[in-house]
Amino acid sequence: MARGRLGWLAQWPVIVLSLLVGALSLVPLGFVVAMTIATGWNTALALVVRPRVLELLGNTVWLVLLTVPLCLVLGVGGAWLVERTTLRAHRVWAVLLAAPLAIPAFVNSYAWVSAIPSMEGLGSGVLIATLSYYPLVYIPAAATLSRLDPAIEQSAASLGLGPVRVFFRVVLPQLRIAIAGGALLVGLHLLAEYGAFAMIRFDTFTTAIMEQYRSTFNGSAGNMLASVLVLLCLIMLVIESRARGNHRYAKLGSGAQAAPSRFRLGAWEVPAHLGLLGVAALALGVPVWIISRWFVAGGAEIWAEDSLSTLATALGQSLWLGLLGALATTAAAFPLAWLAVRFPGWLSKSLELANYVTSSMPGIVLALAFVTVALRSVPVLYQTTPLLVLAYVLLFLPRALVSLRAGLAQAPHELEEAAQALGRPPLAAFLRVTLRLAAPAAAGGAALVFLAVVNELTATLLLSPTGTMTLATKFWSLSSGIDYAGAAPYALLMILLSAPMTYLLFQQSKKAAGQ
């Protein structure tokens, strides 16, 4: 017991830093709660129970109820075809099905709207959201299928169960965690998305909050919309937790995992290829073709000195903010990951939960919280780079935290002790052993944060310093002004920057599924 207490005391700087990160994570949630209380029950009820809010609630609920099942069907179905059937060129399809994640949803919406200007409303929103977000289900489902021991499936088949019954009775239950997690990610993205739905004139809570903020912002009305939005996020977290449950699907014992048996598609192979080709054409072909077409249509103007200078500035600022966000987020995640690995317990779990709740909030809610807190408490921070980077940290901390925690778990404390026993000072042992082993995981997490920052729109629009111009914000400015040709180079650059990071995410998910 004494040794445990001494261990905690020796790590007090890490604990203090973790508590600081946790306290910052509670700022947005505290803002929503405080503003709701300050509004008063009667006023809050009047602002929430009104036709406009009910309309937004109906739009949002229908969007989630229609899009999430479609993403589940495409994601799980595609994963099963790639990992469990004799589908030809399955390795190519594995990458193509994950590739749409490299295209931001608002870029996808821009491509569809410029191709079909009449697109608007719920149906268009479901189409664009499904094509943009189904990889969030496909990637974890494919990763889980690739690592599942097929012995149970083979046993079920030997008892006379056909492929369809084996899938629904044996395979699908083992995908429960991946499906629940993927559905949660899709749902949270639907609640947070602004650009894609604003472009097709489909009203959600996020678009309504942004409209109020950018025109005649009503503090009480906007805060109540944010409160309802946060409540929907919390409901989704609870549903995902219940759906995931406490089940574990792991193989116990030694021995090599059996090679998976692939179901022969036979006459169904051609329809399967046609179906996957249709998904790839809609999710990848349409946006890439439309962006390329507008890029060519821009002609010489795209290569004019002023245009290239503006493009270079936007690229440079995007890379700079992405680098700052990645470094700051990884640094903030380190003490939390260290605490979770070296001293697991109620404190580390509570701090992680606080950040997961905050990061699940839409960027616009977090940005509004920071705008209000900065103006009222620290006005010197309003519209500054540090405040914007802090928002990135809170939004994307889990991406770095998950990778760092896995990396630190592979560097047990006993290795540091062995290095110290050989004469290394504690700091040198940490740098030469633990930090070195965790560096690849930290780099992977930082790369995923970098990708998120480069494509972030809403928080950047609200918090960025005057004059800041990123690829996302410049693209949004041009596309909102119907300058589709001028927006094409920015869309193309975002896709080119996102593609390698998306492939990295796909590969990391496969490794994580095997741990």
Chain segment 192-204, per-residue pLDDT in tens = 889 899 999 899 9
Q: What is the pLDDT of residue 126?
A: 96
Q: What per-residue confidence (pLDDT) applies to 197?
A: 94
Q: Give residue 112's pLDDT.
A: 94
343 secondary structure, DSSP code: S
Predicted confidence band of residue 253 (pLDDT cuts 50, 70, 90)? very low
Residue ranges of the chain that CATH labels 1.10.3720.10:
26-247+267-285, 298-515
- The Cα–Cα gap between 403 and 401 comes to 6
Q: Mean pLDDT over residues 273-289, rounded?
A: 93
Q: What angle do CA 327, 328, 334 make, to 5 degrees?
A: 90
Instruction: Kindly state the average pLDDT of the residues 138-167.
Output: 70
Where does the pLDDT of residue 425 fall: very low under 50, low under 70, confident under 90, or very high at 90 and above? low
Helix (H, G, I), strand (E, B) or coil at 457: coil
What is the predicted pLDDT for the residue at 111? 93
And the tokens for 429? 């042992």
Q: Are 354 and 360 contacting, i.e. CB atoms less than 8 angstroms apart?
A: no
Residues 6+ apart with CB under 8 A from 511: none
Residue 386 has what pLDDT?
92
Instruction: Report pLDDT for 473.
Output: 92
Alpha-carbon distance of 56 to 17, in angstroms, equals 40
Q: Which residue in 121, 426, 56, 114 sits closest to 289, CA to CA?
A: 114
- Is the pLDDT confidence value at 160 over 80? no
> Between 3.60.20.10, 1.10.3720.10, 1.10.10.60, 2.40.50.500, what CATH number should domain 298-515 receive?
1.10.3720.10
Does pLDDT of 513 surpass 60?
Answer: no
pLDDT at 503 over 90: no
Residues in contact with 409: Cβ distance below 8 Å, sequence separation at least 6, in sequence order:
341
For the chain, the residue count is 515
- Percentages of the chain per state (helix, strand, coil), in multiples of 5: 80, 0, 15
Architecture of domain 26-247+267-285: Orthogonal Bundle (1.10)
- Asked if residue 269 has pLDDT above 80, the reply is yes
Q: Is the pTM of this model over 0.85?
A: no
- pLDDT at res. 154: 61
**Comparing 346 with 423, which gets the higher pLDDT?**
346
